[in-house]
Amino acid sequence: MSLSTATRLTVFLLLLSQISRLQAAEVQDVRMWRAPDHTRLVFDLSAAVDYTLFSLDNPDRLVIDIDSSSTSQGFNGLDFTSSPIRAIRSGERDDDTLRIVLDLETAVDPSSFTLAPNSEFGNRLVVDLYDKEPRPNAALTAGNRPAPQSDSRREIVVAISAGHGGEDPGSIGYDGRLKEKNITLAISRALFNRLQSMPGYKPVMIREGDYYVELKRRPEIARQSRADLFVAIHADWYRNSRARGVTVYALSGDRADRENSARVTQKENSSDLLGGVGGDLAIGNFDDDVALTLVSLQMAWSMEQSLIAGTRILESLDGITRIRKDKVQQASLQVLNSPDIPSILIETGYLTNPEEAQRLNTSGFQQRMAAAIAQGVMNYFYETPPEGTLVAWQKANGITPGSYTVKRGDSLSEIAERFGLSLAQLKASNSLQSNTIQVGQVLSLPGAAPIPASEHTISRGETLSEIAQLYRISVAELRAANRLSNDRIMVGQVLKIPSL
């Protein structure tokens, strides 16, 4: 029996519908990160999609319609704490559209975009929910920027930027699991703690957790914090496992010229282009030639200081780890483009080198590297301290950072107050049982401890010779540092690693 034309057409349409359904994209997973000023959702997709996004109020909701899509995922397993999201629900509509609804605690400013597959993830839909009201401890914005400090002994502000974060893992280690974003955050936190313990320094974290901060926002946050120096922490990658060592970068001249021209072009939209700590300079009232001259002079100073700061850090790192390039390199890196803040980027080592990656992933080595970077930063600022800072006062009075020589008329409580310390801190740092001090006595200031030795906790199957090779020292040096008479070690034993 032959089928009629109408019947054949119906069968064809049914088959076409089934094929279309088979080719539909699937939302396979959703991930969420909370940043100081926004919440990011990343939807992992089986294929590229078309979508629409719109807001509804009374109550506040955000609706995402994804064409020809489906999902078997439930969204209730996400932790919405500190986010504007109360719940997420989804359902398939008659036209094969997947509708995802975000029930909100408060209205947000949404932004969204799609990402093509990379080495770790497939297609993705990224939705950012920006807070309309400032949240406690949120990153500084132009609206709540602090005024320049009038204190004659202000602190030096160092902005620390941990590379990558959130859905951007950065380089992947030799083992396929180690992620750059975790290494950079750990070293950045150690650097923050080190500088925070030093009188006269105030570190600022560009990101404090596992979330992504846009490249252009990183120097903006540093400027809003009135930073004297911007330090970006990264880890490197190469196509083979032999590359190793630290590299320090500053902005290249070609990139600086392009950035200067772009700033002048956009000057009408920028009221606080220059000024850093000292105050803002609006260039909108100048003609282009004058504006370009002002920006170029400021950028030239910033680049010069970046090279000096980077050199001091390289000097301090020498002996802690291998130096790949003994001079500061210059590159076209957007994150280093501040014309009014000296900025450097430190590639702390190669995650594709097994030995170096394992060291970078240990707390002891992260602490040693952070301490060396901090020492380089302090050496740079002690050479030419910013006017009006405590460090400038220390230098003018012959005080070596981290110590103070007692003068006639000094009291322990006055010295503690002068350096922003408690009396208990100062006494503990100098093993003092009383408040009695002598003229000429040299007091140690908390935070000035030497770079800590690295430690290694022995795992099952490790040998002393393998550990020595891992840290690029001899077995004899490792035995001597730990007072070992032979090569016998035990699981769980902690070995001290001498300076490299």
User: Last residue of some domain: 338, 355, 383?
Assistant: 383
Same domain, residue pair 468 and 326: no
* pLDDT of res. 23: 54
Same domain, residue pair 91 and 40: yes
Q: Which of the two residues, 375 and 149, has the higher pLDDT score?
A: 375
**What is the value of pTM for the model shown?**
0.71
**pLDDT more than 70, % of the chain:** 79
4: DSSP letter: P
Same domain, residue pair 53 and 113: yes
* DSSP string for residues in 186-217: HHHHHHHHHHHTSTTEEEEES--SS----TTH
* pLDDT of res. 397: 78
* pLDDT of res. 186: 95
Same domain, residue pair 319 and 372: yes
Instruction: Give the domain CATH number at 375.
Output: 3.40.630.40
Same domain, residue pair 196 and 340: yes
Tell me: pLDDT of 160 over 90. Answer: yes
Contact 201, 156 (CB under 8 A): yes
> How confident is the model over 406-451, as pLDDT tens digits?
888 889 988 887 776 778 878 877 888 899 998 888 887 766 555 6
Tell me: pLDDT of 137 over 50. Answer: no
Among the residues of 244-362, which ranges form H helices?
253-265, 288-317, 354-360
Same domain, residue pair 272 and 252: yes
Identify the band that residue 119 occupies on the pLDDT scale cut at 50, 70 and 90: low
* pLDDT of res. 139: 44
* DSSP string for residues in 244-277: --BEEEEE-HHHHHHHHHHHHHTGGG-S--B-TT
Same domain, residue pair 308 and 164: yes
* pLDDT of res. 450: 57
* pLDDT of res. 21: 45
Over the range 184-216, which residues count as b (16 or more CB within 10 Å of their CB) and which as e? bbbbbbbbbebbebbbbbbbbbbbbebbbbeee
Same domain, residue pair 172 and 298: yes
Tell me: pLDDT of 394 over 70. Answer: yes
Please indicate, yes or no, if residue 312 is contained in any of the structural domains: yes
98 pairs with which residues across the strands?
A: 66, 92
Same domain, residue pair 36 and 120: yes
Same domain, residue pair 150 and 127: no
Please indicate, yes or no, if residue 484 is contained in any of the structural domains: yes
- Alpha-carbon Rg for the chain, nearest whole angstrom, is 28
Same domain, residue pair 196 and 306: yes
Contact 246, 324 (CB under 8 A): yes
> How confident is the model over 278-289, as pLDDT tens digits?
444 554 554 555
Query: 58-67, 323-332, 417-426: which range is least confident on average?
Result: 417-426
pLDDT average, residue stretch 158-164 = 95
> How confident is the model over 443-469, as pLDDT tens digits?
877 665 556 556 777 877 788 888 877
User: Last residue of some domain: 92, 108, 131?
Assistant: 131
Please indicate, yes or no, if residue 14 is contained in any of the structural domains: no
Contact 162, 184 (CB under 8 A): yes
Please indicate, yes or no, if residue 275 is contained in any of the structural domains: yes
From the list 295, 293, 378, the residue with the least C-alpha distance to 338 is 295
Spacing of C-alpha 467 from chain mean position: 30
Please indicate, yes or no, if residue 4 is contained in any of the structural domains: no
* pLDDT of res. 263: 46
Please indicate, yes or no, if residue 15 is contained in any of the structural domains: no
Q: What six digits make up the tokens of 156? A: 């030096």
Same domain, residue pair 183 and 212: yes
115 pairs with which residues across the strands?
A: 124
User: Last residue of some domain: 131, 158, 178?
Assistant: 131
* pLDDT of res. 288: 52
Instruction: Give the domain CATH number at 479.
Output: 3.10.350.10
Q: Which domain holds residue 54?
A: 21-131
Please indicate, yes or no, if residue 51 is contained in any of the structural domains: yes
Tell me: pLDDT of 480 over 90. Answer: no
* pLDDT of res. 286: 47
Q: How many domains does the chain have?
A: 4
Identify the band that residue 4 occupies on the pLDDT scale cut at 50, 70 and 90: low
Please indicate, yes or no, if residue 449 is contained in any of the structural domains: no
Task: Tell me the residue type at 168.
Answer: D
